[in-house]
Structure 1
Amino acid sequence: MEFCKGEHKHFIVYKPYNYLSQFYSNSKQQKNKRFLGELYNFPKGIMPIGRLDEKSEGLLLLTTNGKLSDYINSQKVDKEYYAQLDGNISVEAIKKLETGIEIGFDGKKYLTKPCKVFKLSDSPNLPMRSKKIRDTRHGPTSWISLTLNEGKFRQVRKMTSAVGFPTLRLVRVKVGHISLNNMQIGEVLELDKLV
């Protein structure tokens, strides 16, 4: 299937912490918020493919092609996150995350689908976040890689809290075959194609 013919534009962004996954304010409540439009002069009609909540950071795909956006969202593409957790996560908690955990969503209970989770042996090599995360004087932290192909609102955060290890920092590092690699926070790259 060919989505990339014509004049469509495609970008990848390292979305910073405390930015919304939109390009400008659409309400008075958002007047003190930060937006993707501050990072780059994006073309008209640009849209994010999926979103990252304000407190999350990392890889965000953008396109002017609505059909491509729908295709990527509908194909349940794998998304990998690195999550820094409050506490030293246990093997038992990792197993619960892998097999599915009950979280709240839209006022109802939701059982997450099985996903791939493992503990990282070292802290990942990520750029320093703008807002400092508490240090080890307040107790240990641990990092996990979590790969899933669904995307409920704040799902990863809800999942890690449900097993007793709240997320302190959340960075999306991969969507499908596209990786964050060595991008810096706020960096924008234009690509010829996304699929």
Structure 2
Amino acid sequence: MARTKNYFIIYKPFKVLSQFTSEDGNPGLGSIYSLPKDVYPVGRLDLDSEGLLILTNDKQLNGALLNPENEHRRTYWVEVEGVPDDSALDQLRSGVEINVKGNYHTLPCEAKIINAPDVAERQPPVNYQKHPVRSWVEIRLIEGKNRQVRKMTAKVGHPTLRLIRVAIEDLHLAPLQSGEITQISEKVLYKKLHLPI
């Protein structure tokens, strides 16, 4: 009998691991969600990052989405220290040298200053007294090296304070709030991710 394919999208909260088991005092997804045992995250967001994460038991989707050759566009809203000028944004767009198991030059991406998005305060919140001058940057890229966005903004002199993944291709996080989950059909998900079923 064919296994039923399940697809969920969640807004992974800050300081929650992208795995179901808790580890080193940090809660895993299993502390928030009760899902079938065969469902697992596709890719990951690091502990300090928030936002869109897909959970499924579809191994084909995992392979298709994580294969670098498929170049899936990921969109992030990044609250950074200070206000990047045109030079800093141009550096991000053209690629910067970061350390990912040795020196790595990031691929060209899109980067622009945006108005502060209408998102709920993170828990615990950013230390605004320590970082009085902040701005938000939208970054779209087609790769996902370990802590890449954080390394990129730090490289151009604007360390990341808050990082939210808001989209993968046409699959958007909204209207989910932190910790929320919704189920999605295979047809809709694959269409939004620009994948053939």
- TM-score by structure 2 length? 0.90
CA contact 1:39–1:187 (8 Å) conserved in 2: no
Deviation at 1:137, TM superposition (A): 6.8
Deviation at 1:38, TM superposition (A): 1.6
* Mapping 1:67-86, distance limit 5 Å: 67-74=60-67, 75-86=70-81
The one of 98, 101, 104 aligned to 1:103:
98
* Cα offsets for 1:82-105 (capped at 9, x unmatched): 000001111100000000000001
Deviation at 1:69, TM superposition (A): 1.0
The one of 124, 127, 135 aligned to 1:134:
127
Quote the Cα distance in structure 2 between the aligned partners of 1:105 and 1:169. Answer: 21
CA contact 1:101–1:159 (8 Å) conserved in 2: yes
CA contact 2:11–2:181 (8 Å) conserved in 1: yes
* Cα offsets for 1:106-159 (capped at 9, x unmatched): 1x0000000011110x20011111111122674310100000010000000000
Kindly tell me the number of residue pairs found equivalent between the two proteins: 185
The one of 5, 8, 23 aligned to 2:5:
8
Tell me what 2:137 maps to: 144
Aligned sequence identity (%) = 37
CA contact 2:52–2:165 (8 Å) conserved in 1: yes
SS across alignment from 1:131: coil
CA contact 2:81–2:131 (8 Å) conserved in 1: no
SS across alignment from 2:121: coil
Tell me what 1:60 maps to: 53
Quote the Cα distance in structure 2 between the aligned partners of 1:189 and 1:138. Answer: 34
Quote the Cα distance in structure 1 between the aligned partners of 2:60 and 2:127. Answer: 42
Quote the Cα distance in structure 2 between the aligned partners of 1:55 and 1:126. Answer: 16
* Mapping 1:85-96, distance limit 5 Å: 85-96=80-91
| Amino acid aligned to 1:155 | Q
Unaligned regions of 5+ residues in structure 1, if any? none
Unaligned regions of 5+ residues in structure 2, if any? 191-197
CA contact 1:101–1:112 (8 Å) conserved in 2: yes
Distance 1:134 1:39, change over 3 A: same
Deviation at 1:31, TM superposition (A): 4.1
SS across alignment from 1:103: strand
The one of 172, 182, 195 aligned to 2:165:
172
Deviation at 1:80, TM superposition (A): 0.2
- TM-score by structure 1 length? 0.91
